[in-house]
Amino acid sequence: MDEKPTNKSNSMIEFESVTFCYGARKILDNVSVSVPTGKITAIFGGSGTGKTTFLKLVGGQLAPSHGTVKFDGQSIGGMSYKQLYAARRRMGMLYQFGALFTDLSVFENVIFPLREHTDLPEQILRDLAIMKLDAVGLRGARDLMTSELSGGMARRVALARAIALDPELIMYDEPFTGLDPVATAVIANLISKLNDALGLTSVLVTHDLEVSLNIVDYCIFFAAGSVVGQGTPDEIRQSDNPLIKQFINGEIDGPVPLHYPASDYRSDLGLGG
Amino acid sequence: MFQRGVVAIGRLTVNGIWKIGAGTAFIGNVIARSKMTFARPRLFINEIYFAGTLSLIIIVVSGLFVGLVLGLQGYETLKRYGSAEAVGTLVALSLVRELGPVVAALLFASRAGSAMTAKIGIMKSSDQLSAMEMMAVDPFQRVITPMFWGGFFSMPLLAAIFSAMGILGGYLITVVVIGVDGGAFWSQMQASVDFQGDILNGIYKSIVFGFAVNAIALFEGFDCLPTAEGVSRAVTRTVVTSALAILALDFVLTAFMFTGA
């Protein structure tokens, strides 16, 4: 049923000279980067540096202005509607706040993709959904409505839903934002365990360096729409790149300025100058 | 100042044209991707419940009160000319030709149309539509199209129920309360209401209104800015645009259907 290409390259995702613009604003500027298959890769960068755009380009929800985005060797832009949807069945995506369907229960949320894509008997679907919920430790919460979940639980349910179709690639959009330290550790642990247990390729878009560097295999740094550095966590920690150093040490000012570009302060206050 | 005015008019015009184009493409998409709705009737039935059944209370109660007022006003006027028995005709014709389709559509836009816009808008702003896309489920086929057809088929039924309740209201006030002859009330109505010319034309109107209101409501939800403010503005636009569209379309349809015959 699935159209699975035989081309098994070392890179699950490849960006070849990708530029993406929102109107006149350039979000990604001539980015060429690869995400290795079977590893956890983190995409770091401050707010508005094009990290989420990166994920949307991989999922085919946005199209690059120039360049090519490849998923498992196939160009996303060259796919037909049917091929794109077949490719998306091999991807899972965890949204920043879960994006759970609010009119469905936890169990119904997890079983949703299974119901949509398979003709399996209800009993098997139920067992599969329970297994996915058990994998994230929420088997007992299956009858809750999404409004009854905490932020961390909602993200774990969303994770169970994202792995429901046994994807090959899973993308996490800011998985640690707004979570307490325990929930953060739980999610980080799940990301790491699932990647190994299910043989996934994981892409983690985040600005939470401390937690991420402990679980990822490879890091890519974005700043102002370009890749400014990449390497293993150890290489990143020892990097001399001022942008990366500013990010790691959390310095207020540096290559990434605190202030948004503005006119002269004195003249703005009417003091002449 | 003058330049700014020209720029504003230009922007409004361009935005308006863009919106008409985007709306037309949206409706084209809805119709083109309707296969799943009819292949999975459960989706469609759920939406008939959401748009139709849940609108019943407001339709039934409003229909009854409109009929009561129409009966009372009609009786008071017709009595002066000694033809109080014709009140049945007046109530029935007013309802099936005009008030039934138009008022039911206005109520539908406020109750179901606004709810549709809010639902799609919130699904969009909380990434639920995007998440569905990434699960390889087309939100058009799974959410938007069933809503459209559910609302589309509910509208004529709601208009018919509105008219029926209105006629019942007219009967209650004139025959039961005031004492107009019941036989004359029904027989005059039966003699003067034409199935083709009055009832069918009323149904055609409600079909057109149903198409317009559902298209506007879903497009506004889909097109809204994904913020709380954006959703609230989209809901307002749905109610206002739908009301204007219903009244304008009613004028055009009436001009074609009931004049020159």
Residues 6+ apart with CB under 8 A from A212: A42, A44, A176, A188, A204, A206, A219
A193 touches A115 (CB < 8 A):
no
Residue of A nearest to B138 (CA): A85
| Three-state secondary-structure class, residue A207 | coil
Q: Which helix (H) or strand (E) holds A186?
A: helix A181-198
Mutate to test the interface with A, among B134, B137, B140, B231 (most CBs of A within 10 A): B134
Nearest to A99 among B131, B136, B142 (CB): B131
Least confident of B27-41, B142-156, B231-245: B27-41
Distance from CA of B231 to the nearest CA of A (A): 16
CA angle A91, A92, A95 (to 5 degrees): 135
A97 neighbourhood in chain B, CB within 8 Å: 126-127
Question: What is d(CA A193, CA B74) in angstroms, rounded to the nearest whole number?
Answer: 76
Amino acid A64: pLDDT: 92
One-letter amino acid at A29 equals D
CB distance A96–B130 less than 8 Å? no
Residues 6+ apart with CB under 8 A from B97: B198, B201, B202, B254, B258
Residue with tokens 């690869």: A34
**CB within 8 A of A2, min separation 6: which ones?**
A86, A89, A90
Total beta-carbon pairs less than 8 A apart between chain A and chain B: 48
Give per-residue pLDDT as tens, B109-161: 999 999 999 999 999 999 999 999 999 999 999 999 999 999 999 999 999 99
**Mean pLDDT computed over every residue of chain B:** 93
In chain A, residues with a C-beta closer than 8 Å to the C-beta of B137 are 112-113, 116-117
| β-bridge mates for residue A69, sequence order | A15
B128 neighbourhood in chain A, CB within 8 Å: 99-102
Compute mean pLDDT per 10 residues along chain A, 273 residues long, and list them: 49 91 87 91 83 90 92 90 92 89 92 91 91 89 90 89 90 86 86 87 87 89 85 85 77 66 83 69
Mean pLDDT lowest among A252-256, B74-78, B200-204: A252-256
Chain B residues with CB inside 8 Å of A86's CB?
136
Rounded Cα distance between B90 and B108, Å, is 24
Whether B20 is covered by a domain: the verdict is no
Alpha carbons B221 and B244: distance in angstroms, whole number: 18
Task: Give chain A positions within 8 Å (CB) of B142.
Answer: 116
CB B150 within 8 A of CB B51: yes
Interface residues of chain B, partner chain A, Cβ below 8 Å: 122, 126-128, 130-131, 133-138, 142
CATH assignment of A8-90+168-177+201-255? Answer: 3.40.50.300
pLDDT higher than threshold 70 for residue B213: yes
Given this model, what pLDDT does residue B38 score?
A: 85
Chain B residue with minimum CA distance to A57: B134
B126 neighbourhood in chain A, CB within 8 Å: 97, 99, 102
Question: Do residues A165 and A153 make contact, with C-beta atoms less than 8 angstroms apart?
Answer: no
Residue pointed to by tokens 């019941």 = B182
Q: Are strands A74-75 and A66-71 parallel, antiparallel or unpaired?
A: antiparallel
d(CA A272, CA B111): 57
Q: pLDDT tens, B5-22? A: 999 999 999 998 998 999
Parallel, antiparallel or unpaired: strands A40-44 and A201-206: parallel
Chain B hits for A117, CB-CB cut-off 8 Å, are 136-137
Phi and psi based region of residue A7 (left: phi greater than 0; alpha: psi -120 to 50; beta: remaining): beta
Q: Please state, in angstroms and rounded to a whole number, the distance separating the CA atoms of residues B36 and B138.
A: 10
Q: Least CB-CB distance to B127: which of A88, A91, A99?
A: A99
CA–CA distance, A216 with B12 (Å, rounded to integer): 50
Whether the Cβ atoms of residue A195 and residue A40 lie closer than 8 Å to each other: yes
Cβ(A103)–Cβ(A65) under 8 Å? no
Contact B130 A61 (CB under 8 A): yes
Q: Which among A93, A115, A163, A174 is the top mutation candidate for probing chain B, defined by the most B β-carbons within 10 Å of its own β-carbon?
A: A93
Q: What is the pLDDT of residue A5?
A: 44
In a domain, B24, yes or no: no
A90 vs B163: CA distance, rounded Å? 52
Point out the residue among B126, B134, B138 whose CB comes nearest to the CB of A91: B134
Instruction: Return the pLDDT at A257.
Output: 63
Q: Which residue from A91, A99, A116 is facing B128, i.e. has the nearest CB?
A: A99
Name all contacts of A185-193 with Cβ < 8 Å and 24+ positions apart.
A185/A211, A186/A137, A186/A152, A186/A156, A187/A152, A187/A155, A187/A156, A187/A159, A188/A212, A188/A214, A188/A215, A189/A215, A190/A136, A190/A156, A190/A159, A191/A40, A191/A215, A192/A40
In a domain, B19, yes or no: no
In this structure, are residues B81 and B215 in contact, taking their beta carbons and an 8 Å threshold? no
Confirm whether B27 is domain-assigned. no
Whether B133 and A88 lie within 8 Å, measured CB to CB: yes
- Residues of chain B neighbouring A99 (CB-CB closer than 8 A): 126-128, 130-131
Between CA B133 and CA A171 the distance in angstroms is 14
Q: How many CB atoms lie within 10 A of CB B225?
A: 13
With a CB cutoff of 8 Å and minimum separation 6, the contacts of B47 are B146, B147, B149, B150, B151
Euclidean distance between CA atoms B72 and B89, whole angstroms: 13
Contact A101 B128 (CB under 8 A): yes
CB contact under 8 Å between B138 and A88, yes or no, is: no
Q: Which of B135, B137, B143 should we substitute to test contact with A (largest number of A Cβ atoms within 10 Å)?
A: B135
Cα–Cα distances (Å) from B180 to B87, B176, B192, in that order, read 9, 8, 18
SS3 at position A150: coil
Q: What is the mean pLDDT of residues B217-237?
A: 94
pLDDT value for A252: 67
Round to whole Å and give the CA distance between A17 and A29: 8
DSSP for A48-82 reads: TSSHHHHHHHHTTSS--SEEEEEETTEESTT--HH
> What pLDDT was estimated at residue A254?
67
Task: Flag whether B179 is in a domain.
Answer: yes
Provide the shortest C-alpha distance from residue B67 to chain A (in Å).
37
Q: How far is B166 from chain A (nearest CA, A)?
A: 35
Strands A25-36 and A11-22: antiparallel
Cross-sheet strand order for the sheet of A226-231: A91-94, A169-173, A201-206, A40-44, A218-223, A226-231
Residues spanned by the domain of B221: 33-257
Chain B: give the shortest CA distance to residue A95, in Å. Answer: 7
Residue A83 contacts residue A3 (beta carbons within 8 Å): yes
Q: Is the pLDDT at B250 greater than 90, yes or no?
A: yes
- For chain B, the domain total comes to 1
Chain B residue numbers touching A61 (CB-CB < 8 A)? 130, 133-134
- CA gap A96, A178 in Å, rounded: 9
Q: What is the DSSP letter of A260?
A: P
ipTM for this prediction? 0.83
